[in-house]
Amino acid sequence: MAKQRWQFKLSQACGLLIKTTISKWFRLKIQGHYELGADTVIVINRTSAIDALLLAFCFPERLTFILPVSLAKKGWFKVLRLFAEVWVNEAGGLGTVKSFCQAVQEGKHCVLFPPEHSTYLNDNTMVELAGLMLQKAQASVLPVRIDGTQYSIFSLVKDRHLMQWRPKVTLHIMAPRLLTTQDAPQSRKRVGRKLFLLLSEMSFTNWNQDKSLFAALLQGVKLAKKSRQFMGDSTGNSLSTRRFISSCFILGRQFKNQTQAGERVGLMMPTSIAALVSFFALQAYRRIPAMLNFSGGFYNLYAACQLAGIKTIYTSRQFIITAKLEGLLQELLAAGLQIRFLEESKAAIGLADKITGLIKGFFPLRTYVGLGDRVAVRETAVILFTSGSEGVPKGVALSHANILANCYQLISRVDFSAADVFFNALPIFHCFGLTVGCLLPLFTGNRCFFYPSPLHYKIIPSLVYDKQATIFLSTDTFLTGYARVAKPRDFGSVRYVFAGAEKVKPETIQNWKRIFGVSIYEGYGATEASPVIALNCSIASKIGSVGLPLPGIQYRVEAMEGIPEGGRLFIRGPNIMAGYLSTNCSGEINYLKDGWHDTGDIVSIDENSFVSIKGRVKRFAKLGGEMVSLTAVESIAAVLWPGQTHAALYQQCPKKGEQILLFSEAPLADKSTFIHYIHTQGHSELLIPHKVFPATKIPVLTTGKIDYVTLERGLTVVFSS
């Protein structure tokens, strides 16, 4: 008896010593208040091996952990038993559910604890199992966000964060949530999805967004594996992390001598290493790159330069020759713009510049800090321009915080790993290609390969195979083209295909699944949102939708006259732009009112928060007092004549009001077939176009979007003649 009492006192003393040491070492702090009810389950975002211990330290109540045998064998398991009640579940699966429900019914304060080396981002079975546990227990949820342990030596995500010797750890106790109730029983999949979204939100909140794009790049190159090629492109060039950073400093010094700090500098380059070096060289020396769309013609390009106050444009002489842009270049010079070629900047770099740049590459953070004033994260980081598919492009000012927030929103929703290789052939003058295709992998230390054009349908699949890419970005138009010519093995290494910019057709998704065994995850975005707003992912996806809004994004849908289902979407969040550039060419920004942005899209959002796009506000025709979606007309045409591009417009008729016109590349497209389909499917006759124009060459933008402006211009010429 005395021996048992002595052992108990010894264990108490050891426990107190361990608790005091760890608490002091990590400067443990608790934020928030709580009331832990009898049927409340604690949910944590597990990022380290000691999260369970820290949780047990901080709660005065004795917590209950139900752990699998694999975790029960770990060294910290015995230490945890000093501070919490631990149930070892040997059955797994449904046995875990039974043990969990029993513990809740007994009034235990249970913790929903994910297995080691697993997260709710990559395991659908785990999500459903967790949903089943909460569903059966009918318990409320108390989210506890642990911040700081991801930087410790105990971190389970060392490939995503820089390690700190003594990080400060804070436990943020959030407001309790009820994911399921007896009055409104829900499926375990739905409850699991709610849990997934909660953990995704907690993960996003944990990211440190208080840094500039260049500082985020420096963090990314530290995370990258030094012995491997960091980036490559179609020219055959490849750079390691240190060479890339050194190149930014070397080229940036040339830019410093030719431009002013804070100046908006045009960058007219294809997707390549040279473009990314130029982009970050401008960032390092506190210049603001403005990404110019060279495919839109002189007038759009010149208007963009006037809008942003651009005086100097950097480009490549080799690129101008290859893309046959000599005429455009002459027009820009005639308009008074200064054109500087990277080849000339490279020739001006001497041996001393190279040596200095290499030395700076060994001390990048210290060098960057010494190059100028501290960069405020709310300052403009880049100027982008909208696609102009419906009118004159608008200038969008995105801050460092906007772009970093969108990158971290995506990381919090998708299980990117350190082994992933990104392949990007989308243009960098569009936000999807820049943020997701270029900046995201650089900030996470992932290898990436850049290709200048998505139109090379035969070359790109073989390069994806050669580089063993795992993440591929594209649009429906280009995905359709790759599926026609690629071999089944070409995309065998790809884990995820993310598609945006235009609606992904059902047959495209089916063909990719059948030919390559790869799922396409459609998303929705806008330049103004840096760009991603919603996204389907492996855990939460719905066919026909563009997915769930990303964490941190608030939304509201305002009803519109004539549209019975859905409404106009307004969004607000950390990734939403500060505002548009003023149209008076003063360079000033017209800031958003209260941070809310009108997307101009008509959407419907279901009870599970999945977003479905009905069309643009401008893409609706008013017929018989009702608003008819031109996008819906195009979707029906895509079903009738698959594999072809279709575009619907409307024209004003003096007698009958607005009339829908359907243009199709299909040579056999006709109105009678369309009418027959409408009647057999029971659709509204208002969707029937007034006229159908078969075998029409439909213009598209570089992103694959239909160029409605050019199409309407051609329509005006035809009808006027």
pLDDT band at residue 579 using 50, 70 and 90 as cut-offs: confident
Q: Are 591 and 578 in contact (CB under 8 A)?
A: yes
Q: Do 140 and 276 share a structural domain? A: no
Q: Which residue has the tokens 């591929």?
A: 472
Minimum mean pLDDT range among 82-86, 589-593, 677-681: 82-86
Question: What whole-number distance in Å separates Cα of residue 619 and Cα of residue 473?
Answer: 26
Q: Do 150 and 6 share a structural domain? A: yes
pLDDT band at residue 125 using 50, 70 and 90 as cut-offs: low
Residue bearing the bigger pLDDT, 525 or 696: 525
pLDDT band at residue 426 using 50, 70 and 90 as cut-offs: very high
Q: Do 216 and 200 share a structural domain? A: no
Q: Do 154 and 234 share a structural domain? A: no
Per-residue pLDDT, averaged over 654-667, amounts to 78
Q: Which residue has the tokens 């002091």?
A: 24
Helix 2-25 to helix 51-58 angle (10° resolution) is: 100
Note the pTM of the prediction, 2 decimals: 0.84
What does DSSP assign to residue 594? G
Per-residue pLDDT, averaged over 360-377, amounts to 84
User: Kindly report the CA angle at 522 between 521 and 523, in degrees rounded to 5?
Assistant: 120
Mean pLDDT of the chain: 82
Task: Answer yes or no: is pLDDT of 433 > 60.
Answer: yes
Question: What whole-number distance in Å separates Cα of residue 555 and Cα of residue 596?
Answer: 9
Q: Which domain CATH number covers 227? A: 3.40.50.12780
pLDDT band at residue 432 using 50, 70 and 90 as cut-offs: very high
425: helix, coil or strand?
coil
Q: Which domain CATH number covers 709? A: 3.30.300.30
Q: How far apart are the first and last CA of the chain?
A: 107
Domain assignment of residue 163, yes or no: yes
Q: What is the pLDDT of residue 719?
A: 52
Task: Answer yes or no: is pLDDT of 17 > 70.
Answer: yes
Work out how many domains the chain is built from and give that number: 3
Q: What is the pLDDT of residue 346?
A: 86
Q: Do 245 and 213 share a structural domain? A: yes
- Among 427, 436, 612, 618, CA closest to 534: 612
Question: What whole-number distance in Å separates Cα of residue 341 and Cα of residue 331?
Answer: 16
Task: Answer yes or no: is pLDDT of 621 > 80.
Answer: no
pLDDT band at residue 721 using 50, 70 and 90 as cut-offs: very low
Domain assignment of residue 568, yes or no: no
Per-residue pLDDT, averaged over 688-712, amounts to 80
Q: What is the pLDDT of residue 391?
A: 60
Buried b (16+ CB within 10 A) or exposed e, 524-540: bbbbbbbbbbbbbbbbb
Question: What whole-number distance in Å separates Cα of residue 633 and Cα of residue 225?
Answer: 50
Helix/strand/coil (H/E/C) assignment for every residue in 600-649: EEEEEECCCCCEEEEEEHHHEEEECCEEEEHHHHHHHHHHHCCCCCEEEE
pLDDT band at residue 117 using 50, 70 and 90 as cut-offs: very low
Domain assignment of residue 341, yes or no: yes
User: Kindly report the CA angle at 565 between 564 and 569, in degrees rounded to 5?
Assistant: 115
- Domain boundary (376, 399, 422) is at 399
Q: Do 215 and 162 share a structural domain? A: no
Per-residue pLDDT, averaged over 670-682, amounts to 84
Question: What whole-number distance in Å separates Cα of residue 64 and Cα of residue 676?
Answer: 64
Q: Do 359 and 217 share a structural domain? A: yes
What does DSSP assign to residue 503? P
Q: Give me the residues paired with residue 68 across strands.
A: 89
pLDDT band at residue 406 using 50, 70 and 90 as cut-offs: very high
Q: Do 249 and 195 share a structural domain? A: no
Q: Do 174 and 30 share a structural domain? A: yes
Domain assignment of residue 600, yes or no: no
Minimum mean pLDDT range among 351-355, 491-495, 533-537: 351-355
Task: Give the rounded distance of the alpha carbon of 214 from its chain centre.
Answer: 19
Q: What is the pLDDT of residue 217?
A: 92
Q: What is the pLDDT of residue 39?
A: 75
Helix/strand/coil (H/E/C) assignment for every residue in 653-698: ECCCEEEEEEEECCCCCCHHHHHHHHHHHCCCHHHCCCEEECCCCC
User: Kindly report the CA angle at 67 between 64 and 72, in degrees rounded to 5?
Assistant: 115
Q: Are 233 and 273 in contact (CB under 8 A)?
A: yes
pLDDT band at residue 624 using 50, 70 and 90 as cut-offs: low
The H or E element containing residue 145 is strand 140-147
Q: Do 182 and 51 share a structural domain? A: yes
Task: Answer yes or no: is pLDDT of 717 > 60.
Answer: no
Q: What is the pLDDT of residue 407?
A: 94
Q: Do 23 and 129 share a structural domain? A: yes
Task: Report DSSP letters for 261-323, one per residue.
Answer: TT-EEEE---SSHHHHHHHHHHHHTT-EEEE--TTS-HHHHHHHHHHHT--EEEE-HHHHHHT
Which amino acid type is present at position 353?
A: D
- The pLDDT tens digits for 46-88 are 777 777 777 777 777 888 877 766 666 666 667 777 777 777 6
Per-residue pLDDT, averaged over 17-42, amounts to 75
pLDDT band at residue 292 using 50, 70 and 90 as cut-offs: very high
pLDDT band at residue 449 using 50, 70 and 90 as cut-offs: very high
pLDDT band at residue 648 using 50, 70 and 90 as cut-offs: confident
Q: 388 in the Ramachandran plot: left (φ > 0), alpha (ψ -120 to 50) or beta?
A: left
Task: Give the rounded distance of the alpha carbon of 536 from its chain centre.
Answer: 11
Domain assignment of residue 416, yes or no: no
Which amino acid type is present at position 272?
A: S
Domain that holds residue 310: 207-399
Q: How many CB atoms lie within 10 A of CB 73?
A: 10
Task: Answer yes or no: is pLDDT of 450 > 80.
Answer: yes
Per-residue pLDDT, averaged over 437-446, amounts to 92
- Domain boundary (146, 178, 205) is at 205
Q: What is the pLDDT of residue 291?
A: 94
Task: Report DSSP letters for 437-485, one per residue.
Answer: IIIHHHHHT-EEEE-S-TT-TTHHHHHHHHHT-SEEEE-HHHHHHHHHH
- The pLDDT tens digits for 202-250 are 888 877 778 999 999 998 888 887 656 789 998 888 888 889 999 999 9
Q: Are 347 and 317 in contact (CB under 8 A)?
A: no
Residue bearing the bigger pLDDT, 674 or 277: 277
CA distances (Å), 31 to each of 34, 59, 171, in order?
A: 10, 12, 6
Token output for 458: 């035969």
Domain assignment of residue 546, yes or no: no
Domain assignment of residue 671, yes or no: yes
Q: Which of 38-42, 69-73, 411-415, 716-720 has the highest mean pLDDT?
A: 411-415
Q: Which residue has the tokens 């530290």?
A: 222
- Domain boundary (159, 186, 205) is at 205
The H or E element containing residue 398 is strand 395-399
Which amino acid type is present at position 510?
A: Q
Q: What are phi and psi of 179, to 5 degrees?
A: -85, -20
Q: Do 314 and 172 share a structural domain? A: no
Minimum mean pLDDT range among 21-25, 392-396, 501-505: 21-25
pLDDT band at residue 635 using 50, 70 and 90 as cut-offs: confident
Give the torsion sign (CA, 196, 202, 208, 213): positive
* Residues in the chain, total: 721
H helices then E strands: how many in the chain? 25, 33
Domain assignment of residue 547, yes or no: no
